[in-house]
C-alpha cells in the first residue's frame, strides 16, 4: 500500500526533533525538516513519482540521500534510522517538544534534569512545581504547559484536509473499482471541505451479492477492523484515521448523502422544515407517513422542502437555509473563475523551479498571469532577494514576457513586514513592481495591539497591496498570532489594500470565518497558492474550498479579473 506524503513527512519531522534533542548537527536537523516541508507541500504522491521514474533528489530540500530514504520508507513503511534513534531516546519526547514554547532544546534539559519522558510525567512535574527549578523554566511556563496539556486532552485528533485527501482518494478509488459497487462518495466534513477532518464517512450503493464489507476491510492500508456488519463497518488506517462505510439503498442515496454530509445544526433545520409539513426526513428519505416523497437525489430532497439546492461547503447552519428558502444563495466562486495566481516562489529564493518552468505550468493550467513573489532579503534562510538580485529577476521577467502573447508574468515580491511595520525593501525598488505581497514571518509573539499596529503601519505604505497569510497560523502546528483582525480589515478597506486566502494546505489563512467577515465588510480577497514549485500551483483548489465555505462569489476575489482590471484595483492613489 502506498505510503502517504504526510506519513513520510511525520517520520522525518519526528526524526529531526529527536536528533535536535540528542544534540545532533543543526544542518542535519534542518535537512530533515526541510524535506518534511517539501513532502507536505507536494500536490502529488512521492511514491507515485517514484513509480513513474521521477528523480526525487531534484525536489527542493531533498538530495540523493533523502531521496533514497524516501524510497526505502515507500517500500517497507519503516524508517530504520528513526527506529535506531528511538532505541536511545524515547519517541514520546517528540510529543513533548511539539508543545508551544518548549521545543527540542528545552526537552533535552527536562529529560536530563528530571527524567521526563512522557506528557503525563511532564504534567505531574508541572503540578509539583518542579519545572521551575530547571534552567529556562519558570512559574508562568509551568502554567502555560498545564493549560496546553488540558486543552489537548479534550481535543480529537484531526487531519489537515489535504492529508486526509491523500488517504481518502486511493481508498475511494479502491471501492469504486469493485464491480459490484455502483456509487461511492465521501460525505461528512470532508465533503464540506472543512480545513481539518476527524474521520471519514463513506457511502456506497451496490448489487445485492457485492460483498462490499469484505472488500472494504481487506483494503491493504487497514491497521485494525473496529466493527464489521452487513451494512456498516469501521476500520482504522495505519495513519490512525478511522473510516466508516455505510451501504445504503439506491432509492435513498440522496437522502443519505444529505444526512451524512451536513453539519448537525444544518440537518436539524431541514428536519424541522419537514416536521412542520408533518413529514419525516432521515437518512433513508423524506416521507409522508409511509410514502416516500423524495430521497433518490439530494436535489429532490431540497426541492421537496421548498429550498434551493445547498452546496455541501455551505451546510453549516450559517444562514444557508434562509438563503435557500428566499432564493438568495450565492453563486460560489470556482477554480475556473480564477484568471491567475498572485503569490509564488522560484528557486531564486526557497522555491524549486525557475521562472520559465513556473510560467509554462501556469499557462498550461489556463492562467492569464502569474505573480512571481520571491522572498525579500530579511528572509535570509529562505534565500531572500536583495535589491540587486530582485532587479536581475525583473529583467529576466521582461525577457520572458516578450515571448508571450496570451500570458504575463507579474513582477512582485513577498516583502517582509519588519517588527516596526516598515517594509523590507528600498521604496524605489518596490515602485518598479506590479504588486507587493506583504507578510509577517518573525516576532510572532508580539502582544495583540502591537501586532495589529505593525500590520496597519505596513498598510500605511502606499506600496503595500496584499497582506499574505494574515494570521500566521499553521494548521495543527501553530496557533494564529494575537491580532485584532477586524481592525486590520477596516484599515485595509480604508487604504485600498487587500488580504489573502493562502491556499497552502497547512495554512488556509484566512480561515473560512474570517474570509466571510471580509466579504461582509466589502473587502476583496486574493486566492493564491504561495507555491514553492510548479506542481504547487495545483493548490488553488484548497483556497477555493475555503472561499466557497465563506460564501465568496467571483466578484469578491481579486484574481477573477483580467490583468488590466486587476491593475486598476491595485492602484493606490
Q: Could you tell me if 537 and 389 lie in one domain?
A: yes
Is pLDDT larger for residue 156 or for residue 567?
567
Residue 267, phi-psi category: left (phi > 0), alpha (psi -120 to 50), beta (remainder):
alpha
User: Comparing C-alpha atoms, which of 127, 97, 128, 91 is closest to residue 110?
Assistant: 97
Q: Domain boundary at 117, 137, 153, which? A: 153
Q: Could you tell me if 342 and 375 lie in one domain?
A: yes
Grid cell locating 285 = 428519505
- The confidence score (pLDDT) of residue 155 equals 63
Q: Domain boundary at 247, 271, 294, which? A: 247
pLDDT classification of 43: cutoffs 50, 70, 90: confident
pLDDT in tens, 257-300: 999 999 999 999 999 999 999 999 999 999 999 999 999 999 99
- Residue 157, helix vs strand vs coil: coil
**Looking at the predicted structure, is the pLDDT value of residue 545 above 90?**
yes
Q: 326: which residues sit within 8 A by CB, 6+ positions away?
A: none
Query: What is the distance between the alpha carbons of residues 344 and 9, in angstroms, rounded to a whole number?
Result: 22
Give the chain's radius of gyration (CA, Å).
25
Burial status of residue 455 (CB atoms within 10 A of its CB: 0-12, 13-18, 19 or more):
buried
Instruction: Return the bridge partners of 202, or none.
Output: 186, 245
Buried b (16+ CB within 10 A) or exposed e, 306-340: ebbebbbbbbbbbebbebbeeeebbebbeeebbbb
- The confidence score (pLDDT) of residue 200 equals 97
Share of the chain above pLDDT 90, in %: 68
Query: What is the distance between the alpha carbons of residues 184 and 165, in angstroms, rounded to a whole number?
Result: 15
pLDDT in tens, 414-448: 999 999 999 999 999 999 999 999 999 999 989 99
Query: What is the distance between the alpha carbons of residues 403 and 400, in angstroms, rounded to a whole number?
Result: 6
Q: Domain boundary at 137, 153, 169, which? A: 153
**Looking at the predicted structure, is the pLDDT value of residue 568 above 90?**
yes
Buried b (16+ CB within 10 A) or exposed e, 513-545: ebbbbbbeeebbbbbbbbbbbbbbbbbbbbbbb
Q: Could you tell me if 370 and 317 lie in one domain?
A: no
- The confidence score (pLDDT) of residue 431 equals 96
pLDDT classification of 340: cutoffs 50, 70, 90: very high
Query: Measured between alpha carbons, how far is residue 573 from residues 187, 370, 434, 455 in Å?
Result: 48, 24, 15, 20
**Looking at the predicted structure, is the pLDDT value of residue 208 above 60?**
yes
**Looking at the predicted structure, is the pLDDT value of residue 500 above 90?**
yes
**Looking at the predicted structure, is the pLDDT value of residue 75 above 90?**
no
Grid cell locating 202 = 463513506
Rounded (to 5) percent helix, strand, coil in the chain:
45, 15, 40
Q: Could you tell me if 165 and 94 lie in one domain?
A: no
Q: Could you tell me if 399 and 470 lie in one domain?
A: yes
- Quick one: average pLDDT of 109-115? 87
Q: What is the CATH number of the domain that holds 426?
A: 3.20.20.140
- Quick one: average pLDDT of 450-455? 97
Is residue 218 within 8 A of residue 258, CB to CB? The reply is: no
Q: Mind giving me the DSSP string for 411-443?
A: E--EEEB-TTS-BSS-HHHHTTSS--EEE--S-
Q: Could you tell me if 368 and 243 lie in one domain?
A: no
Query: What is the distance between the alpha carbons of residues 515 and 503, in angstroms, rounded to a whole number?
Result: 13
**Sole residue written with cell 498598510:** 459
Q: Could you tell me if 142 and 18 lie in one domain?
A: yes
Burial status of residue 466 (CB atoms within 10 A of its CB: 0-12, 13-18, 19 or more):
buried
282 is in which domain, residue-wise?
252-326
Q: Could you tell me if 563 and 461 lie in one domain?
A: yes
Q: Could you tell me if 213 and 286 lie in one domain?
A: no
- The confidence score (pLDDT) of residue 2 equals 64
Q: Could you tell me if 347 and 298 lie in one domain?
A: no
Domain count, the chain: 4
The dihedral sign for the CA sequence 337, 340, 342, 347: positive
Helices in 160-202 by DSSP H: which ranges?
A: 161-176, 188-191
Q: What is the CATH number of the domain that holds 228?
A: 3.30.460.10
The mean predicted confidence, pLDDT, of the chain is 92
pLDDT in tens, 407-418: 999 999 999 999
**Looking at the predicted structure, is the pLDDT value of residue 44 above 80?**
no
Amino acid at each position: 500500500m502506498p505510503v502517504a506524503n504526510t506519513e513520510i513527512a511525520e517520520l522525518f519531522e519526528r526524526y529531526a526533533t529527536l536528533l535536535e534533542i540528542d544534540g545532533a548537527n543543526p544542518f542535519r536537523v534542518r535537512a530533515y525538516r526541510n524535506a518534511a516541508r517539501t513532502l507536505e507541500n507536494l500536490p502529488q504522491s512521492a511514491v507515485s513519482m517514484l513509480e513513474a521514474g521521477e528523480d526525487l533528489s531534484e525536489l527542493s530540500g531533498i538530495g540523493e540521500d533523502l531521496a533514497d530514504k524516501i524510497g526505502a520508507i515507500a517500500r517497507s513503511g519503516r524508517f530504520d534510522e528513526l527506529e535506531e534513534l528511538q532505541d536511545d531516546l524515547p519517541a514520546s519526547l517528540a510529543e513533548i517538544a511539539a508543545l508551544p514554547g518548549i521545543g527540542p532544546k528545552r526537552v533535552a534539559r527536562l529529560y536530563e534534569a528530571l527524567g521526563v519522558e512522557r506528557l503525563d510525567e511532564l504534567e505531574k512535574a508541572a503540578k509539583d512545581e518542579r519545572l521551575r527549578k530547571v534552567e529556562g523554566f519558570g512559574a508562568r511556563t509551568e502554567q502555560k504547559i498545564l493549560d496546553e496539556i488540558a486543552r489537548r486532552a479534550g481535543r480529537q485528533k484531526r487531519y489537515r484536509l489535504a492529508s486526509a485527501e491523500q488517504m481518502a482518494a486511493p481508498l475511494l478509488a479502491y471501492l469504486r473499482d469493485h464491480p459490484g459497487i455502483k456509487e461511492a462518495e465521501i460525505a461528512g466534513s470532508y465533503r464540506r471541505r472543512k480545513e481539518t477532518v476527524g474521520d471519514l464517512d463513506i457511502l456506497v450503493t451496490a448489487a445485492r451479492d457485492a460483498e462490499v464489507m469484505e472488500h472494504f476491510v481487506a483494503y491493504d492500508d487497514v491497521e485494525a477492523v473496529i466493527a464489521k456488519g452487513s451494512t456498516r463497518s469501521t476500520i482504522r488506517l495505519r495513519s490512525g484515521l478511522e473510516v466508516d462505510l455505510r451501504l445504503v439503498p439506491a432509492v435513498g442515496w440522496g437522502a443519505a448523502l444529505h444526512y451524512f454530509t451536513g453539519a448537525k445544526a444544518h440537518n436539524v433545520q431541514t428536519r424541522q422544515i419537514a416536521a412542520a409539513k408533518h413529514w419525516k426526513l432521515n437518512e433513508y428519505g423524506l416521507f409522508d407517513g409511509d410514502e416516500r416523497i423524495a430521497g433518490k437525489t439530494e436535489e429532490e430532497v431540497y426541492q421537496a422542502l421548498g429550498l434551493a439546492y445547498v452546496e455541501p461547503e455551505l451546510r453549516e447552519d450559517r444562514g444557508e437555509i434562509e438563503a435557500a428558502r428566499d432564493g438568495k444563495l450565492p453563486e460560489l466562486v470556482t477554480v475556473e473563475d480564477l484568471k491567475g495566481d498572485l503569490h509564488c516562489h522560484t528557486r531564486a529564493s526557497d522555491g524549486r523551479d525557475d521562472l520559465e518552468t513556473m510560467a509554462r505550468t501556469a499557462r498550461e493550467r489556463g492562467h492569464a498571469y502569474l505573480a512571481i513573489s520571491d522572498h525579500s532579503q530579511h528572509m535570509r534562510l529562505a534565500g531572500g532577494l536583495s535589491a540587486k538580485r530582485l532587479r536581475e529577476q525583473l529583467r529576466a521577467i521582461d525577457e520572458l514576457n516578450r515571448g508571450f502573447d496570451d500570458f504575463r508574468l507579474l513582477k512582485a515580491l513577498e516583502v517582509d513586514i519588519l517588527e516596526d511595520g516598515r517594509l523590507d525593501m528600498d521604496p524605489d525598488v518596490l515602485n518598479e513592481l506590479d504588486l507587493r505581497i506583504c507578510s509577517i514571518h518573525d516576532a510572532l509573539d508580539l502582544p495583540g495591539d502591537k501586532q495589529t499596529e505593525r500590520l496597519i503601519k505596513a498598510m500605511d505604505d502606499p506600496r503595500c497591496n496584499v497582506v499574505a497569510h494574515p494570521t500566521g497560523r499553521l494548521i495543527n502546528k501553530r496557533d494564529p498570532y494575537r491580532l485584532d483582525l477586524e481592525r486590520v480589515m477596516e484599515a485595509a478597506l480604508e487604504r485600498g489594500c487587500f488580504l489573502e486566502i493562502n491556499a497552502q494546505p497547512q495554512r488556509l489563512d484566512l480561515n473560512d470565518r474570517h474570509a466571510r467577515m471580509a466579504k461582509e465588510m466589502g473587502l476583496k480577497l486574493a486566492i493564491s497558492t504561495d507555491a514553492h514549485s510548479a506542481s504547487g500551483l495545483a493548490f488553488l483548489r484548497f483556497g477555493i474550498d475555503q472561499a466557497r465555505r465563506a460564501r465568496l462569489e467571483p466578484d469578491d476575489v481579486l484574481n477573477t479579473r483580467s490583468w488590466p482590471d486587476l491593475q486598476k484595483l491595485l492602484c493606490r492613489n
